[in-house]
Chain A
Amino acid sequence: DGGITQSPKYLFRKEGQNVTLSCEQNLNHDAMYWYRQDPGQGLRLIYYSQIVNDFQKGDIAEGYSVSREKKESFPLTVTSAQKNPTAFYLCASSIREGGFYNEQFFGPGTRLTVL
């Protein structure tokens, strides 16, 4: 089955610890994205990547880091510098056609709770 996967579904960490969230896609999509969603809120863009070995900051990049060493993978690290990391994290991907990006496919998300 083609799709985008995120693991784990639920993650608990102690305050002050870095944590890495996994995102993998086998859709051969060029672009990948990380969003943060707080209860009752919309989607806020953390980082995005249009191509391997390149990524850009989104609207709320502080306290987060990413890498894009492979086309299929776009892991997100939530560092101890992120002041309020408890949230629902969504990864997405999209394909580029003719200079435009098509719809985004979302993974099932990871609910991170920092204790």
Chain B
Amino acid sequence: GQQVMQIPQYQHVQEGEDFTTYCNSSTTLSNIQWYKQRPGGHPVFLIQLVKSGEVKKQKRLTFQFGEAKKNSSLHITATQTTDVGTYFCAGPHNAGKSTFGDGTTLTVKP
């Protein structure tokens, strides 16, 4: 079945440092979604990317979809303590289901 790999599994940063998580697939993805799960909470949708080479920004978060539509990344500029949590990529969401990566857990030291 389709697999979506995410790296790194864990990332510890000092507040103010940047953070990036990567999502890779062996097959071409029609779309990819990103979610954030705060500690003790549930996943919350952040964004969906559809087009090859697409770049979208949400304040300090930058999402990219690779030209070949096989990889994606989430970059956070100048992390804050509110950014802590686990970031998941998922995709593609068709045939009624999607495949989630294992997530990258971000901790931020004040």
Contact = CB atoms under 8 A, between A and B. Distances in A.
Given A105-B45, A106-B44, A109-B42, A45 B97 contact: yes
Interface in A76-115: 90, 92, 94, 100-109
Interface stretch (B13-21, B55-63, B66-74, B98-106): B98-106
Interface stretch (A11-19, A20-28, A35-43, A60-68): A35-43
Contacts of B88: 42-43
A50 B94 CA distance: 11
Interface of B: 1, 6, 31, 33, 35, 41-45, 48, 88, 90, 93-94, 96-103, 105
30 contacts: A31-B96, A33-B97, A35-B100, A40-B105, A41-B102, A42-B6, A42-B88, A42-B100, A42-B101, A42-B102, A42-B103, A45-B99, A45-B100, A48-B96, A56-B96, A59-B1, A100-B94, A101-B93, A101-B94, A103-B33, A104-B33, A104-B35, A104-B45, A104-B90, A104-B93, A104-B98, A106-B42, A106-B43, A106-B44, A107-B42
Interface of A is mostly: strand
Interface residues of A, number: 26
Contacts of A106: 42-44
Nearest to B31: A100
A95 to B, nearest CB: 11
Nearest to A6: B42
A58 interface: yes
